[in-house]
Amino acid sequence: MAKNKTHINIVFIGHVDAGKSTTVGRLLFDSGNIDEQALRKLKEKAEELGKGGFEFAFVMDNLKEERERGVTIDLAHKKFETPKYYFTIIDAPGHKDFIKNMITGASQADVGVLVVAATDPELQPQTKEHVFLARTLGVNQLIVAVNKMDAVNYDEAKFNKIKEMVTKLLKQTGYKTDEVPFLPVASLVGDNVVKKGEKLGWFKGKTLVETMNDIKEPEKPTELPLRLPIQDVYNITGIGVVPVGRVETGTMKVGQKVIAVPGREGKGVTGEVKTIEMHHEQLQTAEPGDNVGFNVRGFGKTDIARGDVVGDAGNVPTVVTEFTAQLVVLNHPTVITVGYTPVFHIHTAQVACQVVAIEKKLNPATGEVLAENPDFIKNGDAAIVKIKPTQPLVIEKQKDIPQMSRFAIRDSGQTVAAGMCIDLVKKQ
């Protein structure tokens, strides 16, 4: 059935206690994607762990450790359909230890649902960070769900206050706020997620599901060359090596000659695509947005790893020795100077890279040059910097393949900066 529908990755983002997992659980349950029996089991489990009311969240948080701690650690993927679209829901962790998974999630998503609690007197720092990252990582469409309306007695003024705060934040980060729908929801009781809530009579807009069905279909960059960053590599009995990843650009076909770079030796490894499958169905062709597992004649278990990128053998992904980036400093404890070597998260790769030059400091809102070759940059600054990876790395220029140009920089457990590649030096 899903074959004729457009496939969309949607990521749920926001602060740790805003109720993202509960919203997703409610969405899946009320739309008939999980049955009563499964929910009853989760309810019993939640009560047994002293977490009554967490059963919807448990739908996504199916790792034992998450249930005991009541937080989302890994990215959970679930299928979901609306009349128009076929969604893979990515529930991203709001907990700050797990933000690197949130980066992986957001950079795979076409659309984001930002969940904000109506009970918050002001915006949580994490909400701000998530919005900024979503924007820098290319999540161009956003829906804002103001959750926990039941906890504020469905007060319209509370909803409007949150809407005003979030609108301001979205403007700062460059979202077109007139294109961002805001909806009040009460996920725990199920108001306005799939079913209209009686107590939200003042709200004339749509439910969350209807809003998801209304999003603009993302353009599929099929005309660009194939780029598929590898997320994991499995060894499956009877099949062999199965890399898994999401097609970012181009198409992958059965029988195609492909190359994975940098590969273990840094020289790349070539082969021919034997099979492609998504959600246990065999495909002949995979398109942008498809999360697939594929088997390649010629790829051995030790040849490839997470962070390598698969491309057509005739159009090899760009491996760089150095690149120039435009970035924004979000959250650095002191200042960033030449010599700083944090971990860069670029598609699925995590590589330490050194700042070798700070060329320009820019106004983050307008992009105008404020200073040439400044000694340092700090929180809130935008800059053009030269970066040297400590090992071979695939990245593309923003103007050539924007989907492969974005990155986030992390250091001692937090996201320090985010940006994109604007120029590069190819590895010979």
| Per-residue tokens: 65 | 């450790």
Instruction: Provide CATH code, domain 228-312.
Output: 2.40.30.10
- Report the alpha-carbon distance of residue 29 to residue 10 in Å, rounded: 17
- CA dist 72 and 257 (Å) reads 39
Residue of 82 and 61 predicted with greater confidence: 82
For residues 285-304, give the mean pLDDT: 91
Judge whether 2-213 and 228-312 match in fold. Answer: no
**pLDDT value at position 52?**
55
Determine the straight-line distance between the first and last CA of the chain, rounded to whole angstroms.
Answer: 47
Q: Is the pLDDT of residue 366 over 60?
A: no
Instruction: Please determine, for residue 107, whether its predicted confidence score (pLDDT) is greater than 90.
Output: no
The whole-chain average pLDDT of the chain stands at 83
Q: In CATH, what number does 319-426 get?
A: 2.40.30.10
What pLDDT was estimated at residue 416? 82
Compute how many other C-beta atoms are within 10 angstroms of the C-beta atom of residue 22: 26
Q: Is the pTM of this model over 0.75?
A: no
Task: Tell me the three state secondary structure of residue 327.
Answer: strand
Sheet holding 6-13, edge to edge: 76-81, 85-91, 6-13, 111-117, 141-147, 182-184
CB of 321 closer than 8 Å to CB of 425: yes
CATH number of this structure's domain 2-213, picked from the four choices 3.20.20.140, 3.40.50.300, 2.40.400.10, 3.40.1740.10: 3.40.50.300
pLDDT for position 101:
47
**Up-side HSE of residue 395: CA atoms within 13 Å toward CB?**
32
263 CA to centre of own chain: 24
Rounded to whole angstroms, the Cα distance separating 345 from 407 reads 5
Q: pLDDT per residue over 392-415, tens digit each?
A: 999 999 889 988 988 888 887 777
Are the C-beta atoms of residues 248 and 288 closer than 8 Å to each other?
A: yes
Domain boundaries, the chain: 2-213, 228-312, 319-426
Which is higher by pLDDT, 72 or 281? 281
User: pLDDT tens for residues 172-215?
Assistant: 777 899 999 999 999 888 899 999 988 999 999 999 999 999 99
